Amino acid sequence: MNNGLDQDLLSELVEIMGGDMQMLINAYINDTREKLVTMNQLQVSTQQEDIHRLAHSLKGSSRNVGLVDFADYCEEIEKKAREGELTEEFFDLPKFDRLFESAASELAKQYL
Amino acid sequence: MKILIADDNHTDRLILSKVLENLNHEVVQAKDGSDAIEQFKKHAPALVLLDVLMPGYDGYEVAEIIKTDSSRAWFPIIFLTSLTEASDLAKCITAGGDDFVSKPINKIIIKAKIDAFERIINLYDTVAEQRERIQYHHEHLVQEQEAAKRIFNNIAHRGCLASDNINYHLSPMSIFNGDLMLAAELPMGGMRLFLADFTGHGLPAAIGAMPASEIFYGMTTKGFSIPDMMVEMNKRLYSVLPRGIFCCVIVIDIDSIDEALTIWNAGAPNSFLIDTKSKQLTPIPSSHLPLGIQSPEKFKVACQSFEFTKHHKVIAVTDGIIEAEDIHGNMFGEEKMVDCIKANVTSDNICGALLAEVNLFCGKTDQSDDLSLLEVAFPAISSDDILQSSEMELTESGTSDSELSLKLRGKSLGNFDPIPLFMQTILSCNELAPHRARIFTVLSELYNNALDHGVLGLDSAMKNSSEGFANYYAKRIQGLNDLDVGFVKVSVDHHPTANGGRLIFSIADSGEGFDVQKIVKEGVKDYSGRGLPLLLKLCDTVEYFDSGTRVKAIYNWDHHDIPE
């Protein structure tokens, strides 16, 4: 089953976090939503550097909580933006939201 | 262990904190670079985990800033990074980091790294603690040495080393090099100098300085001769010095009235008598084992005597100067020393010239710490000055009404010096303290006349040349050794008077006497040997009886008439 989550990593994370797992998931979802709002406001033509940094940050935190598909997409964006080769075409914001929201609702279902 | 985590990513921070808390560490969180610097100052963590990419100050900048905080003991910085370029990773170390771990965080790797650094931190703490303890002990030791130095310097004070006729070099810490230099004025005029070199360094070498100084100053002011003083000093050092520590000495008496030098060298390098007129150097080698080696029963002191006038000097050294090494390990040696003295024979400061030469030879300046050098010329003070004394106590006491007589016969004349005994008895009357030098002079002149010219029959005219001088003293020693019969009887009668007292010295000897009338008529020139002019100057009357074999001298003293 591919729901965009790394279930092995998540089991390990539960082991680490114990009773704080809910708090972690909440913090992650809130942080990420805020960052996605910021992302929506950035211009591909002029703000590739900012996009790069934000994508890097999203990739890091998302991988830590097992959102592998979303993290992979962030990494692609990060790489292109770092080289300054990101195009409007590739910078697919609806895809960003879709990948995140489906994985996030699955996370919420499992841990909240 | 207290650990600071700086990461702008909330999720990463939460997970990492939890990992560390599960390992029983105390965690402080910082959400960016500036916050990291602030939290670091506030909490003084033992270890810092730094994210590389942060808004504001990035990880590299934070590392550089907090590592320069010198008030902190050593602490490790571990960078957290998802960067993989070798150059990015290398930069973590050049910025002041100690290691890096890649993101995403693996709890096993994090635990391993933190455990490893904890061991290093403990090691640093142990070293710092030990260094602190060593530093404490070192400071303590230096303080103790300073205190010891002050005590030693009070006891082994320099006496009259500052006199104009003396040049010397002695390291301020010489006491811990085992070197000791003392000088005191003799009660009869002139001075006694003492240079000693105890074997070894540090406190063990300094121990012997205390009894040596006490004996030196105590016995010199009481008028004891060099042999008597050295016998006493050897006896004491023999009993107190640990095995393997002994003491090389040079002791010198300068008699400014007789213009004579008496010297004894035990184990030290050659001393040199310098005639600045003829530019001749006479070496005075060691004639005895150092002090502290021979048992008192076996210990014998035989001094050498020389003429010593305004154009003579004497130089004494410890082995530091002979053994001073250049950078190749060659020693300075006696030959170079003699050459240097000869080259500077008319200099006012041969000591300074020698020191400069040694420093030049060694090619460094710290060598002089181990050197002790003494240069003495004829004392500039006249006999009148010597007779001054500032001590004064006006209480009627002690032996102000007394008589003491002593008759020495045969061998005892050579073995025992009665002057200190008489002086000690006479001076038990405290009022006589200002008269000490005068009384000493009168008594020793009278006694030595009786012994040298009376019992031994020596002619003082012999002393008019340098060779005659040495000859005179050699004959005196020989004469005393061979003595089987003969006597000198000394009597000192002390009566109180209205304003002071009267000392009557009566000395009789077994000699053949001399023509008193002739001597008195011919005046002082031909009879300088008996010191008659000096005696007449100091005493109220000097009378000879029984063909000159008996003399009576009267010395009146007054409370209100302190000798100048």
* Cβ contacts of A20 on chain B, cutoff 8 Å: 14, 18
HSE value, Cβ hemisphere, 13 Å, CA-based, for B346: 3
DSSP output for B300-365:
----EEEE--TTEEEEEE-HHHHT-B-TTS-B-HHHHHHHHHHHTTT-S-HHHHHHHHHHHHHTSS
pTM for this prediction: 0.58
Rounded distance between C-alpha atoms, residue B148 and residue B267, angstroms:
27
Residues 6+ apart with CB under 8 A from B86: none
* Cβ contacts of B15 on chain A, cutoff 8 Å: 13, 16-17, 24, 64
What's the domain range around A21?
7-111
Rounded distance between C-alpha atoms, residue B91 and residue B536, angstroms:
99
pLDDT tens-digit map of B271-300: 999 999 999 999 999 999 999 999 999 898
- Say whether pLDDT at B270 is over 90: yes
Tell me which of A20-24, B260-264, B319-323, B552-556 is least confident. B319-323
Q: Is A62 inside any structural domain?
A: yes
The answer to whether residue A31 neighbours chain B at the CB level (below 8 Å) is yes
DSSP B452: I
SS3 state of residue B205:
helix
SS (H, E, C) chain A: CCCCCCHHHHHHHHHHHHHHHHHHHHHHHHHHHHHHHHHHHCCCCCCHHHHHHHHHHHHHHHHHCCCHHHHHHHHHHHHHHHHCCCCCCCCCHHHHHHHHHHHHHHHHHHHC
For residue A16, give the nearest of B10, B22, B53 by CB distance: B22
Q: Is A23 inside any structural domain?
A: yes
- Bridge partners of B508, per DSSP, are B489, B550
Rounded distance between C-alpha atoms, residue B248 and residue B266, angstroms:
6
CA B226 to mean position of chain CA atoms:
19
Q: How far apart are the first and last CA of chain B?
A: 82
HSE value, Cβ hemisphere, 13 Å, CA-based, for B204: 9
Subunit contact B18:A59, Cβ cutoff 8 A: no
Per-residue pLDDT band for B529 (boundaries 50, 70, 90) equals low
* Cβ contacts of B18 on chain A, cutoff 8 Å: 16-18, 20, 24
- Say whether pLDDT at B551 is over 70: yes
Q: Answer positive or negative: Cα dihedral of B123, B127, B128, B129.
A: positive
Per-residue pLDDT band for B369 (boundaries 50, 70, 90) equals low
- Only one residue has tokens 């002979």, namely B322
* Cβ contacts of A66 on chain B, cutoff 8 Å: none
- Strand order of the sheet with strand B402-409? B402-409, B487-496, B500-509, B550-558, B541-545
Q: Which of B230, B245, B376, B246 is nearest to B317 (CA)?
A: B376
CA distance B24 to chain A (A): 13
Q: What percentage of residues in chain B have a pLDDT greater than 90? A: 52
Rounded distance between C-alpha atoms, residue B5 and residue B80, angstroms:
10
* Cβ contacts of B82 on chain A, cutoff 8 Å: 56, 59-60
SS (H, E, C) B453-488: HHHCCCCHHHHHCHHHHHHHHHHHHHHHHHCCCCEE
- Say whether pLDDT at B387 is over 50: no
**Cβ atoms < 10 Å from Cβ of B564:** 9
Rounded distance between C-alpha atoms, residue B36 and residue B49, angstroms:
10
The answer to whether residue B133 neighbours chain A at the CB level (below 8 Å) is no
Residue B291 is predicted with a pLDDT of 94
Q: Is A69 inside any structural domain?
A: yes
Rounded distance between C-alpha atoms, residue B349 and residue B315, angstroms:
11
Stretch B320-349: mean pLDDT: 90
For residue B18, give the nearest of A16, A28, A31 by CB distance: A16
Note if the bond before B104 is cis, omega within 30 degrees: yes
Q: Is A1 inside any structural domain?
A: no
Residue B436 is predicted with a pLDDT of 86
Q: Is A25 inside any structural domain?
A: yes
- Say whether pLDDT at B324 is over 50: yes
Q: Is A2 inside any structural domain?
A: no
CA distance A61 to chain B (A): 6
Q: Is A53 inside any structural domain?
A: yes
CA distance A63 to chain B (A): 7
Subunit contact B10:A60, Cβ cutoff 8 A: no
- Say whether pLDDT at B114 is over 80: yes
| Greatest pairwise CA separation for chain A in angstroms | 44
Q: How many domains does chain A have?
A: 1
Instruction: Give the residue from chain A lying closest to B106, CA to CA.
Output: A64
Q: So what's the ipTM on this one?
A: 0.89
For residue B9, give the nearest of A23, A24, A61 by CB distance: A61
For residue A27, give the nearest of B8, B11, B22 by CB distance: B11
pLDDT tens-digit map of B412-460: 998 889 999 999 889 888 788 888 888 999 999 999 999 999 999 888 7
Per-residue pLDDT band for B388 (boundaries 50, 70, 90) equals very low
Q: List the CATH number of the domain containing A38.
A: 1.20.120.160
Q: Which two tokens stand for residue B356?
A: 């400069």
Q: Helices B209-221 and B226-240, interaxial angle, to 10°?
A: 160
Residue type, B81: T
Tell me how far CA of residue B255 lies from CA of B6, B280, B340, B413, in angstroms: 87, 21, 28, 21
Instruction: Give the residue from chain B lying closest to A35, CA to CA.
Output: B9
Residue B564 is predicted with a pLDDT of 59
Question: Which uninterrupted H or E stretch holds B25?
Answer: none
Residue type, B44: A
Residue B382 is predicted with a pLDDT of 47
Compute, in degrees rounded to 10, the torsion defined by CA atoms B444, B449, B455, B461: 140
Q: What percentage of residues in chain A have a pLDDT greater than 70? A: 98
The answer to whether residue A63 neighbours chain B at the CB level (below 8 Å) is yes
* Cβ contacts of A60 on chain B, cutoff 8 Å: 9, 12, 82, 103-104
Q: Is A76 inside any structural domain?
A: yes
Rounded distance between C-alpha atoms, residue B52 and residue B127, angstroms:
31
Query: Which A residues 64-93 touch B at CB under 8 Å?
Result: 64-65
DSSP output for B274-290:
EETTTTEEEEE---BPP
Q: Which of B460, B431, B437 is nearest to B381 (CA)?
A: B437
Residue A80 is predicted with a pLDDT of 92
Rounded distance between C-alpha atoms, residue B54 and residue B358, angstroms:
66
Stretch B12-31: mean pLDDT: 94
For residue A24, give the nearest of B8, B11, B104 by CB distance: B11
